[in-house]
Structure formats: structure tokens, C-alpha cells
Amino acid sequence: MQGPPLIVANAEIRDEFIVAGMERLQAGAQALEVAEYVASLVEDDPAEHTVGYGGLPNVLGQVELDASIMDGATLRAGAVAALHGFRHPIRVARQVMERLPHVLLVGEGANRFAAEIGAERRVMISPGAAVAWAQRLQAICADGEPLDTIELATRALRASQGSDTMNVIVRDSAGNLSSAVTTSGIAWKYPGRLGDSPIIGAGNYCDNRYGAATCMGLGEAAIRVSAAAQVVTLLRLGWTAEAAAREVTGQIAHLIGTSHTPNHMARADWVRILVVDAQGNFSAAATRPGLSFKVHVAGESRPRLCEAASVGASLS
Ligand code: GLY
């Protein structure tokens, strides 16, 4: 059965951004356009400290941005990682998909490409993020001892500011799916660290025939189980959106539960997965309670806030 157009997103996204996306969707825009559009609105929000302009920097004070977008109709995808100095990483990711025979560009290559296509430049650190970084550095260097970057990041990450990220999955009136993810990654990360967000199959996967999945939280855990691709494979095998989200989240809960090291990132040890299947059924699961997501169905005036299922460890 063909469900109505809808947008599923993480709860931290402002309602007004989702509503703006729904207006375009109801005016006939395709899922791919709307996913990119909603992500670009979040990238401009200075109050969002894990995405775009407001994002917190790496341990050296540079905001490195990751983004990916996937088209469920064609399985085309584009991504950038460790991009800096450009306002809309999601737009650059989309152009990687449109203009190159590649999926992922990183670092200097991503910056070169963004410059060549005329992507809009911006100083991508907000005053608030710069102050937060300076305070964090002061706290970990209080004893005045010279530290290499490994030790700086190790100390800084003990109180990581998390990795909320931005996830949006859009289903349009033709039943096409698209998924977009954009993030500044874990605050105070080692320079060059990529999470799951720019890695197709880890933080983002989308196939009209089965469904789409996106991840937030500790990217290292999502990468290690190929989380988003695994969810969509389970949908292909006939699992419901809820069962698929729970299964893969359970695997991640097990990883997180057995992976604590002295470098353990105390505030980022969770993952939340959003899922929409080919019929428009949606679900979400998280490795800890209290995490929500938003669903905006065409015809409803505002997004609904829904609770993600809280899932413990699974070894299946
Ligand atoms: N999930 C976002 C990140 O780990 O960078």
C-alpha cells in the first residue's frame, strides 16, 4: 500500500525546518530535493552544535564537516568528509553525486571540489563554538604540560560534547525515498576523524525497493556493523522497520557495552537509528532510553514527536 509523503528526522531539528521541507514536498518537490533542503537549513542553525556553522570543532579548533545524501530511486550517492570553510556540506555532497563518477571526497580533495563548483564559502566556526573549544582546551591543559595531538584528543574526548548529527529521510508522493545526513562529528575529535555520516552503508543508506536508514550518535559503532546498510538488508529480507531498527541497534549496544577503553567517550556512547520502509512505515531505535524523533506526514499541520525504542545488547 502506498503511504502518504512524509519526513522523518531526528528530534533535535527545529519543527520549522521540517515544516518548510513538507511545504516543498506537498508542492511537488522530489524526495532528493527536500532531503537536501532540510539538511541545508540545519547547517545554518548556530544553535545546533553538532552540524554546520554552529558545530563544535576538532581538538585543534577547526570545524571539519561530513555529509552524505542518497537517492533511493537510483542508488546514486554523494558524500564529503573533513570539509572546511564551506557553508553547505550537504550541497557539496549532492554535487559529488551529480558531477563526478565518485561517491566520497575527503579533506583537501573535498575542499578543492567545493571551490571548483563555486560552493559558498563561510568561516565555519560560530563565536559560541570557538569559546567552547578554548574552554575545553584550557581545562585539559591546566597543568601546562606540552601535549601531542593524540594526548590532547584523548583528554578532550573524555568529556565529549556528543555527536547528535542531522538525519532526515524523505518519502515523496511518487514513493521515492531519499536520505541526508550532515554533521560536524564528535566534538574535539582527532583531526581527520570521520564518523559514519559520510560513509554510505554506515550512517546512511536508501533504496526505494526496501527502505532507508540513517544513524546518529557514536559513528565508530555504526561503522563497525555497517548499520544503515544492514537495516535495509533486513527490510529486503522482509523484516518490519521496527524489528530491523531494533536488531541493528541491539548489535551496536553490545559493541558499546564491550568497548569501553580509557579513551571511552562518556557522553557519546549511544546510537539512534531512523528507518522508513518502502511503504512509508517508520520506526526508530536507540541504545539508551529518552531519545526521540520527529515524523511529519503530509496533511498534518506539524511534526509529531515520537519516542525511539530503547534497545539493549543483542548478539543475533
Ligand atoms: N554520527 C556522527 C559521527 O559520529 O560523527
Bridge partners (DSSP) of residue 307 are 292
> 111-156 pLDDT, tens per residue?
999 999 999 999 989 999 999 999 999 988 878 788 899 999 988 8
Cα separation, 94 vs 77, whole angstroms: 8
Residues with active-site annotation: 165
Residues at CB less than 6 angstroms from ligand 1: 163, 165, 183, 185-186, 195-197, 203, 216-219
**Confidence band of 3 (pLDDT split at 50, 70, 90):** confident
pTM score > 0.85 for this model? yes
Starting at the edge strand found earlier in the chain, the sheet holding 309-310 runs: 204-207, 211-217, 271-277, 282-286, 309-310
CATH number of 6-310: 3.60.20.30
Report the residue among 50, 164, 168, 183 best suited for mutation to probe ligand 1: largest number of ligand atoms under 8 A from its CB: 183
Report the residue among 10, 49, 163 best suited for mutation to probe ligand 1: largest number of ligand atoms under 8 A from its CB: 163
What is the per-residue pLDDT for 316?
52
Classify residue 11 by its DSSP letter: T
Q: Find cell 604540560 and name the residue.
A: 145
Q: Quote the strand ranges of the chain, DSSP E.
A: 6-10, 65-71, 76-83, 104-106, 166-171, 177-183, 204-207, 211-217, 271-277, 282-286, 292-297, 304-307, 309-310
Average pLDDT over residues 245-253: 96
Cα separation, 281 vs 238, whole angstroms: 13
